[in-house]
Amino acid sequence: MILLRGATVVTMDARRSVVRGDVLVAGGRIESVGRVRAPKSTKVIDCAGRAIVPGLVQAHVHLCQVLFRNHADGLELLDWLSQRIWPYEAAHDARSLGFSARLGIAELLLGGTTAILDMATVHHTEAVLQAALESGIRYTGGKCLMDAASGPLHEDTAPALEETQRLGRKWHLAADGRIHWALCPRFVLSCTEKMLHEVRLLSERHGWLVHTHASENRSEVEQVRKQTGRDNVEYFDDLGLCGPRTVLAHCVHVTESETRILAETKTSAVHCPGANLKLASGNAPVPRLLAEGVNVALGGDGAPCNNTLDAFHEMRLAATLHLPQFGPRAMPASEVLAMATIRGATALGLESEIGSIEPGKKADLAVVDLSGAHCQPAGPDPHATLVYCARASDVTDVFVDGRQLVRNRKLLTLDAPKLAASAAAEARRALRKLA
């Protein structure tokens, strides 16, 4: 047993309750919340001056791109993809891809993110899954599918689907259920209709999530309309792909009718404000999506288009950038934190297990030190302090399934300093193939 004692427990339950007290963890799950009297053999961690939050969830990331951080600045989406990212991803071998995944996971865990929805690249997918297995992070993701794209990442439809099925059968629910497989067609412009049809059938057959991009950039939306005669969400819906097992990253340029489709089908959208700003894509109408009943989660996207995987950075952006258009009360801090916790868990189909601090749920937790000068004086609402003031570097301890992965700001499962020190050389080794 582990007792996290004397904290401000930000539960993110349905009432957004805040409890001043303790969290008792037993058997990988939350045993109780409040004033707890634990057995003498219990390991006690003093959390005075700290908040305990549900482990943060990022519902759209690309671990395969982390090694190329700071190598793709100053481009809009379609040029960024064709001129930089697709050639970079194609340059990966299993070694560099595994390194990229470990580097990204180290950043995520040290910043309090315990669960991710990832889109790997086309090749060497198991290198990413192995990194997730070793690190202890809660991972949902899969092989990227691109049968309509020209260039180095193109794959024929049949072998691509065969590989994604093989990997899904092998890895889904691995690590005692900590790893979940997802089907990852990149976006409309890189996938044939046959591919998307087969993805729907596989999702229905196996219960796997579908993770793709939609309506990120105006040029992309125009090309999708020209190619299909419909907007992204309408096209996916016509193919039967919209539904509670589908997660659409971005949704920046969605129409009113597409918003209704998202809400009615319970399709999740993922807001990636940092990436949308840096790629000059625009701002998703998140207050409107939420008001219409769309489940909106949060994600950092790729390290080359953000250039950080810091969930606190994304929360502050999400909480503030919409206010000039929608008004100062449009994005309450508690609901922004929900996007990074329980709404993210809902997108991953894991809301019954993670995303809030309630007895019986899995003990995915982050401890955040709020005693620093940048968080003081504390106000009446800890949600606001976490969203507006806290930083990733304030995270002191992280647990997944009750297993401590970060202790006193040190990652226990991966060598984060060594990864950082080796990153430049590993990036040069991978990119040398493009010279």
Q: Are residues 308 and 369 in the same domain?
A: no
151 band by pLDDT with thresholds 50, 70 and 90: confident
Please say if the pLDDT value at position 435 is more than 80. no
Q: Does 240 reside within a domain?
A: yes
184 band by pLDDT with thresholds 50, 70 and 90: very high
Q: Side chain identity at 165, as an amino acid letter?
A: Q
Task: Give the angle subtended at the CA of 368 by the CAs of 289 and 31, to the nearest 5°.
Answer: 85
What pLDDT is attached to residue 150?
81
Q: Are residues 336 and 207 in the same domain?
A: yes
Q: Does 281 reside within a domain?
A: yes
404 band by pLDDT with thresholds 50, 70 and 90: very high
**Residue 259 CB partners (closer than 8 Å, separation 6+):** 285, 288, 289, 292, 294
What pLDDT is attached to residue 344?
98
User: What gap in Å lies between CA 397 and CA 44, rounded to an integer?
Assistant: 13
Q: Are residues 66 and 199 in the same domain?
A: yes
219 band by pLDDT with thresholds 50, 70 and 90: very high
Q: Does 242 reside within a domain?
A: yes
Q: Are residues 203 and 267 in the same domain?
A: yes
Please say if the pLDDT value at position 259 is more than 90. yes
Nearest to 335 by CA among 326, 343, 345, 325: 343
Average pLDDT estimate for 18-41 = 94
Q: Per the structure, how many domains does the chain have?
A: 2
149 band by pLDDT with thresholds 50, 70 and 90: confident
Nearest to 138 by CA among 106, 97, 180: 180
Q: Name 119's bridge partners.
A: 142
What pLDDT is attached to residue 303?
97
pTM over 0.85: yes
Q: Is the peptide bond before 283 cis (omega within 30 degrees of 0)?
A: no
CATH number of the domain within which 35 lies: 2.30.40.10
Q: pLDDT tens for residues 353-374?
A: 999 999 999 999 999 999 999 9
Nearest to 321 by CA among 387, 371, 246: 387
The mean pLDDT value of the chain amounts to 97
Q: pLDDT tens for residues 275-330?
A: 999 999 999 999 999 999 999 999 999 999 999 999 999 999 999 999 999 999 99
Q: Does 127 reside within a domain?
A: yes
What pLDDT is attached to residue 38?
83
Q: Are residues 336 and 404 in the same domain?
A: no
Q: Are residues 373 and 231 in the same domain?
A: no
User: Comparing 12-21, 36-45, 87-96, which segment has the lowest mean pLDDT?
Assistant: 36-45
Q: Which of 325, 347, 369 is the C-terminal boundary of a domain?
A: 347
Q: Are residues 45 and 73 in the same domain?
A: no
Q: Does 430 reside within a domain?
A: no
Which phi and psi (to 5°) does residue 231 adopt? -80, 165
Please say if the pLDDT value at position 138 is more than 80. yes
Count other Cβ atoms within 10 Å, centred on residue 251: 28
**Residue 53 CB partners (closer than 8 Å, separation 6+):** 10, 12, 112, 337, 341, 357, 365, 366, 368, 386
What pLDDT is attached to residue 282?
97
Q: Does 114 reside within a domain?
A: yes
What is the domain extent for residue 44?
Answer: 2-54+356-411
Q: Are residues 176 and 61 in the same domain?
A: yes
Which phi and psi (to 5°) does residue 319 adopt? -75, -20
Q: Which of 347, 380, 401 is the C-terminal boundary of a domain?
A: 347
Q: Does 429 reside within a domain?
A: no
Q: Are residues 9 and 147 in the same domain?
A: no
Q: Does 420 reside within a domain?
A: no
Nearest to 261 by CA among 283, 238, 284: 238
Q: Are residues 42 and 144 in the same domain?
A: no
Q: Is the peptide bond before 377 cis (omega within 30 degrees of 0)?
A: yes
Average pLDDT estimate for 87-107 = 98
Q: Which of 297, 318, 347 is the C-terminal boundary of a domain?
A: 347
What pLDDT is attached to residue 80?
97
What pLDDT is attached to residue 197?
98
Please say if the pLDDT value at position 421 is more than 80. yes
Q: Are strands 365-369 and 268-271 parallel, antiparallel or unpaired?
A: unpaired
SS3 304: helix
Q: Are residues 173 and 264 in the same domain?
A: yes
User: What gap in Å lies between CA 178 and CA 115, rounded to an integer?
Assistant: 9
What pLDDT is attached to residue 39?
85
CATH number of the domain within which 315 lies: 3.20.20.140
What pLDDT is attached to residue 433?
84
Share of the chain above pLDDT 70, in %: 100
User: What gap in Å lies between CA 391 and CA 380, rounded to an integer?
Assistant: 19
Structure tokens at 144: 């990227």
Please say if the pLDDT value at position 432 is more than 80. yes
Q: Are residues 264 and 399 in the same domain?
A: no
What pLDDT is attached to residue 109?
99
CB 86 within 8 A of CB 153: yes
Structure tokens at 234: 């309408």
